[in-house]
Amino acid sequence: MTMGSNDKTGRWSRIVSFGALVVLATVLTFPATARAADDDAKVTYTRIEAWQVDRASWKSFVEMFEKYDQPIMEKLMADGAITEWGIDAMALHSPEGYTHTTWYSAESLGALAKAGAAYESAWEAMDEKSKMDLEAEFASMITMHRDYVVDTENYRAAAGTVDGGYYHGQFVLVEPGGDRGFHSYWENRMKPIFESLFEKGIVLAYGLSTENIVTDNPRGHSWWYVVGDADGLDAVEAAFDASWDELDQEGRRERWASIKDVVEEDSYREELTSIIHWSAKAQ
């Protein structure tokens, strides 16, 4: 269970990953004002909640999500209010990092707010003792928590539900004035490879995400993808390796220069999570 409010424990925590996720997650940052030039791009908004859960409570945290959050997410999906939801766990841990992320996506910020209202309604329908017991149980699990609202232009996802698989997020800081150059590199060098893998059913979802409400570094960009198993991770890596191998030495030099000049040196980071539950509509 995880519902949201402004109190210390996050009450039920409004969830989100992607990644998601995202993205996913804890790596997604960048202001909407610095987007690429495509003003007509369809934007998907995602509310992400990152959680550091006490090790002894990992199983209980997921069970609480399945009992309280998942039914709300499934109803919101069925009603057309949201387009995606999920929960994942970090596959690579760091000492001060988060252990889980939960998330849901919609086609507008207003729709995200309606999803939040659904949580509040479910919370208010509970009796006071149940609320107090739930608050205490949830608070005992959580050692750290933060939220993000991110947007993804022309987000791609296959319709379906996945229990398992992986989310791989990659993050950079773009140099001041380098937004258009970075988006051009994404559109011409990375997106076609992801789209080919998506059409083959290897990649289940992918996108380039930025923080809509800026709470972190305003120059951050995160691109990410979801695959159904570890073989998918290998396939994505092989596809990108092949895209470099097909270039001659001069082509590789030009390609490297085109991205090196717009990305802050040493800012590159990665995140790998194990998807526990993920559901999406075709986008």
Q: What is the mean pLDDT of residues 260-266?
A: 91
Residue 6 in domain: no
Residue 251 in domain: yes
At residue 252, the pLDDT reads: 83
Place of tokens 């707010």: 113
Residue 2 in domain: no
pLDDT, tens digit (0-9, with 9 covering 90-100), for 227-255: 999 999 999 999 999 999 988 888 888 88
pLDDT, tens digit (0-9, with 9 covering 90-100), for 49-67: 999 999 999 999 999 999 9
| Statement: residue 134 has pLDDT above 60 | yes
Residue 11 in domain: no
Dihedral-angle region of residue 266 (phi above 0 means left; psi in -120 to 50 means alpha; beta otherwise): left
At residue 261, the pLDDT reads: 86
Place of tokens 């709300």: 72
At residue 154, the pLDDT reads: 85
Domain harbouring 53, CATH code: 3.30.70.100
d(CA 209, CA 151): 6
Residue 7 in domain: no
Q: What is the mean pLDDT of residues 33-39?
A: 45
Dihedral-angle region of residue 226 (phi above 0 means left; psi in -120 to 50 means alpha; beta otherwise): beta
Structure tokens at 44: 């998907």
At residue 40, the pLDDT reads: 66
d(CA 139, CA 134): 8
**Which of 57, 38, 152 has the alpha carbon at shortest distance from 100?**
57
pLDDT, tens digit (0-9, with 9 covering 90-100), for 178-220: 999 999 999 999 999 999 999 999 999 999 999 999 998 899 9
Average pLDDT, whole number, for the chain? 86
At residue 256, the pLDDT reads: 83
Residue 8 in domain: no
Domains: count for the chain: 1
| Statement: residue 85 has pLDDT above 50 | yes
Identify the DSSP state of 216: S
At residue 34, the pLDDT reads: 40
34: domain range? 17-280
| Statement: residue 111 has pLDDT above 50 | yes
Structure tokens at 67: 């009992």
Identify the DSSP state of 175: P
- Report the share of the chain in percent with pLDDT over 90: 76
At residue 25, the pLDDT reads: 34
- Contact predicate 168/194, CB 8 Å: no
Q: Is 257 helix (H, G, I), strand (E, B) or coil?
A: helix
At residue 23, the pLDDT reads: 36
At residue 247, the pLDDT reads: 85
- Contact predicate 11/4, CB 8 Å: yes
* Residue type, position 40, single letter: D
Selected residue with higher pLDDT from 140 and 28: 140
Residues 6+ apart with CB under 8 A from 235: 197, 202, 227
Q: What is the mean pLDDT of residues 159-166?
A: 96
Query: If you write DSSP's letter for every residue of 28-39 in order, what string do you get?
Result: ----GGG--S-T
Residue 12 in domain: no
Residue 10 in domain: no
d(CA 91, CA 161): 20
| Statement: residue 96 has pLDDT above 60 | yes
